[in-house]
Amino acid sequence: MNNHAQYPEKTQATYLGRHILAEFFDCDSNVLNNLELIEKKMSEAATACGAHIVQTCFHMFNPHGVSGVVIISESHLAIHTWPELGYAAVDLFTCGENCDPKIAYDFLKQAFSSKSGSYSELRRGMLVSPDLVQKAPFCIKDQIEV
Protein backbone atom coordinates (compact mmCIF):
# COMPACT_ATOMS: atom_id res chain seq x y z
CA MET A 1 0.00 0.00 0.00
CA ASN A 2 1.21 3.49 -0.92
CA ASN A 3 1.02 6.24 1.72
CA HIS A 4 1.27 9.02 -0.84
CA ALA A 5 -1.48 10.95 -2.59
CA GLN A 6 -1.72 10.83 -6.39
CA TYR A 7 -3.00 13.79 -8.43
CA PRO A 8 -3.60 12.45 -11.95
CA GLU A 9 -5.96 15.25 -13.06
CA LYS A 10 -3.12 17.74 -13.67
CA THR A 11 0.10 15.80 -13.16
CA GLN A 12 1.40 12.33 -12.46
CA ALA A 13 3.37 13.67 -9.49
CA THR A 14 3.13 12.01 -6.11
CA TYR A 15 2.68 14.13 -2.98
CA LEU A 16 2.99 13.35 0.70
CA GLY A 17 -0.18 15.18 1.63
CA ARG A 18 -3.15 17.42 0.88
CA HIS A 19 -3.58 20.62 2.86
CA ILE A 20 -6.91 22.44 2.66
CA LEU A 21 -7.16 25.99 3.99
CA ALA A 22 -10.87 26.65 4.46
CA GLU A 23 -13.07 29.58 5.36
CA PHE A 24 -16.70 29.29 6.42
CA PHE A 25 -18.99 32.34 6.31
CA ASP A 26 -22.45 33.13 7.70
CA CYS A 27 -22.26 30.26 10.20
CA ASP A 28 -24.49 29.63 13.22
CA SER A 29 -22.79 31.74 15.89
CA ASN A 30 -24.20 29.52 18.66
CA VAL A 31 -22.33 26.56 17.18
CA LEU A 32 -19.12 28.56 16.70
CA ASN A 33 -19.15 29.68 20.33
CA ASN A 34 -19.70 26.21 21.80
CA LEU A 35 -16.39 24.56 22.77
CA GLU A 36 -17.85 21.08 23.31
CA LEU A 37 -19.78 21.14 20.03
CA ILE A 38 -16.79 22.43 18.02
CA GLU A 39 -14.57 19.68 19.47
CA LYS A 40 -17.25 17.06 18.71
CA LYS A 41 -17.79 18.24 15.11
CA MET A 42 -14.06 18.55 14.38
CA SER A 43 -13.52 15.02 15.72
CA GLU A 44 -16.43 13.71 13.65
CA ALA A 45 -15.01 15.44 10.56
CA ALA A 46 -11.68 13.71 11.14
CA THR A 47 -13.34 10.32 11.41
CA ALA A 48 -15.59 11.00 8.40
CA CYS A 49 -12.59 11.75 6.17
CA GLY A 50 -10.90 8.48 7.15
CA ALA A 51 -8.46 9.77 9.76
CA HIS A 52 -7.41 8.19 13.05
CA ILE A 53 -7.61 10.56 16.03
CA VAL A 54 -4.59 10.66 18.34
CA GLN A 55 -5.52 13.59 20.59
CA THR A 56 -7.62 16.77 20.77
CA CYS A 57 -6.99 20.13 22.40
CA PHE A 58 -9.55 22.97 22.39
CA HIS A 59 -9.77 26.32 24.16
CA MET A 60 -12.66 28.75 24.77
CA PHE A 61 -11.77 32.45 24.61
CA ASN A 62 -13.37 35.24 26.63
CA PRO A 63 -15.69 36.82 25.61
CA HIS A 64 -16.14 34.46 22.64
CA GLY A 65 -14.41 32.19 20.14
CA VAL A 66 -12.93 28.72 20.10
CA SER A 67 -9.55 27.49 18.88
CA GLY A 68 -8.55 23.87 18.70
CA VAL A 69 -6.77 21.06 16.99
CA VAL A 70 -7.50 17.41 16.32
CA ILE A 71 -4.20 15.61 15.99
CA ILE A 72 -4.59 12.66 13.67
CA SER A 73 -2.16 9.91 12.68
CA GLU A 74 -2.29 11.42 9.20
CA SER A 75 -1.53 15.03 10.39
CA HIS A 76 -4.12 17.50 11.83
CA LEU A 77 -7.36 19.45 11.64
CA ALA A 78 -7.31 22.92 13.27
CA ILE A 79 -9.89 25.68 13.76
CA HIS A 80 -10.37 29.19 15.05
CA THR A 81 -13.86 30.72 15.28
CA TRP A 82 -15.20 34.27 15.35
CA PRO A 83 -18.83 33.68 16.43
CA GLU A 84 -19.53 37.41 16.53
CA LEU A 85 -18.81 37.44 12.77
CA GLY A 86 -20.27 34.02 11.92
CA TYR A 87 -16.83 33.05 10.60
CA ALA A 88 -14.50 30.07 11.03
CA ALA A 89 -11.00 29.49 9.64
CA VAL A 90 -10.10 25.81 9.32
CA ASP A 91 -6.90 23.96 8.41
CA LEU A 92 -7.25 20.35 7.17
CA PHE A 93 -3.94 18.55 6.51
CA THR A 94 -3.97 14.85 5.68
CA CYS A 95 -1.24 12.54 4.44
CA GLY A 96 -1.56 9.30 2.52
CA GLU A 97 -4.33 7.94 0.33
CA ASN A 98 -6.73 6.86 3.07
CA CYS A 99 -7.92 10.37 4.06
CA ASP A 100 -9.76 12.95 1.99
CA PRO A 101 -9.74 16.43 3.56
CA LYS A 102 -12.48 17.56 1.15
CA ILE A 103 -14.86 15.19 2.99
CA ALA A 104 -13.97 16.95 6.27
CA TYR A 105 -14.57 20.33 4.58
CA ASP A 106 -18.04 19.30 3.37
CA PHE A 107 -18.88 17.82 6.79
CA LEU A 108 -17.88 21.00 8.66
CA LYS A 109 -19.70 23.31 6.23
CA GLN A 110 -22.91 21.51 7.09
CA ALA A 111 -22.11 21.18 10.82
CA PHE A 112 -21.56 24.95 11.14
CA SER A 113 -24.69 25.75 9.07
CA SER A 114 -22.40 27.78 6.82
CA LYS A 115 -24.22 29.62 4.05
CA SER A 116 -21.01 29.86 2.03
CA GLY A 117 -17.44 28.70 2.20
CA SER A 118 -14.26 28.53 0.20
CA TYR A 119 -11.01 26.62 0.26
CA SER A 120 -7.60 26.41 -1.32
CA GLU A 121 -5.85 23.06 -1.59
CA LEU A 122 -2.10 22.79 -1.27
CA ARG A 123 -0.22 19.71 -2.37
CA ARG A 124 2.62 19.21 0.07
CA GLY A 125 5.89 17.32 -0.28
CA MET A 126 6.26 16.39 -3.96
CA LEU A 127 8.23 13.17 -4.28
CA VAL A 128 10.73 13.02 -7.13
CA SER A 129 11.59 9.44 -6.14
CA PRO A 130 10.32 7.11 -3.40
CA ASP A 131 12.90 8.51 -0.96
CA LEU A 132 13.41 12.12 -2.09
CA VAL A 133 11.17 15.18 -1.63
CA GLN A 134 11.61 17.94 -4.21
CA LYS A 135 13.11 21.11 -2.74
CA ALA A 136 10.56 23.49 -4.22
CA PRO A 137 7.44 25.37 -3.08
CA PHE A 138 4.26 23.36 -2.70
CA CYS A 139 1.72 23.30 -5.49
CA ILE A 140 -1.44 25.38 -4.95
CA LYS A 141 -4.64 24.14 -6.53
CA ASP A 142 -7.03 26.81 -7.83
CA GLN A 143 -9.19 28.64 -5.29
CA ILE A 144 -12.58 26.98 -4.96
CA GLU A 145 -15.74 28.97 -4.16
CA VAL A 146 -18.84 27.20 -2.92
Alpha-carbon gap, residue 81 to 47, rounded angstroms: 21
Distances (CA, A) of 127 to 17, 121, 139: 10, 17, 12
Residue 75 annotated as catalytic: yes
Of residues 80, 113, 118, 139, which has the active-site annotation? Answer: 80
Residue 4 annotated as catalytic: no
131 phi-psi bin (left φ>0, alpha ψ -120 to 50, beta other): alpha
Of residues 19, 43, 49, 95, which has the active-site annotation? Answer: 95
Of residues 49, 75, 99, 114, which has the active-site annotation? Answer: 75
Residue 80 annotated as catalytic: yes
Task: Tell me which residues are annotated as active site.
Answer: 75, 80, 95
